[in-house]
Amino acid sequence: MSDRRILRKALRAARAGLSPAERARSSRQIARWIAGTHWLAPERRVAIFMSMPEEIDTAPLIELAYRRGCDLFFPRIESLRQRRLSFTPPGANLLRNRLGIVEFGGAVRKAAAAMQIIFVPLVGFDRRGNRLGMGTGFYDRALAFRRRRRHWRGPLLIGIAHSCQQTSTIETLPTDVPLDAIVTERGISFFRGESA
């Protein structure tokens, strides 16, 4: 088993060990930290994932973004085989994809480059902003254009997680796209010079 797989397993176990009350408190506190930033401005194109049972509950953040007048988008898997991900606005029909993730249906789809802020799910993160995902690579592929840029022009990549998901160092791969910031129940950390 690779180091990343071992680390992923340990971090998922730490996250799974949190009580429902701890999870709920963390989700609300994260939304409060984000409410104090300039990130959720009216008509800003913001992508937020719909959380799986182990992940931070994104419902308080989604509600906050709606109240602030953001143009919300949600991830949608375009191709499981090619690991392609796009973003779609909310619609009437909710679907569950082959990975068990809830998605909105609909014809409108936007690339990651069209977003201004993307809140990304993660299994772990380190103090340099490296992110460890589930290992499928959907977000890293969708955000690969950021690795080719010499000057940062967005979208702003913000991880949201429980503080127990932090680890000292994540061994990176050439395909990894680092975070610009992370928000946990303890506060916000910035990695690329962005500020709230």
Greatest CA separation for the chain: 46
Average pLDDT over residues 24-46: 97
Is a pLDDT exceeding 90 seen at residue 73? Answer: yes
pLDDT of residue 151: 67
Domains and CATH numbers, the chain: 3-190 (3.40.50.10420)
Instruction: Name the E strands within the chain.
Output: 45-48, 71-79, 84-88, 94-96, 102-104, 117-120, 124-125, 131-132, 156-160, 181-184, 187-190
**pLDDT reading at 152 higher than 70:** no
Nearest alpha carbon to residue 8 among 128, 120, 164, 135: 135
By CB atoms closer than 10 A (0-12, 13-18, 19+), residue 78 is middle
Q: How confident is the model at residue 1 (pLDDT cuts 50, 70, 90)?
A: very low
Cross-strand pairs, 48: 119
Q: List the single range of 80-89, 109-118, 144-153 with lowest mean pLDDT.
A: 144-153
DSSP strand pairing (156-160 vs 117-120): parallel
Residue 196: the pLDDT is 55
- Residue 85 forms beta bridges with which residues? 77
What's the pLDDT band for 95 if we cut at 50, 70, 90? confident
DSSP label at residue 17: T
Residue 2 has pLDDT above 80, yes or no: no
Rounded CA gap, 155 and 46, in Å? 9
- Give me 74's structure tokens: 């949600």
Instruction: Indicate the residue type of 34.
Output: I
3-state secondary structure of 74: strand
Task: Determine the average pLDDT of the residues in 149-161.
Answer: 83
Residue with tokens 């080719």: 148
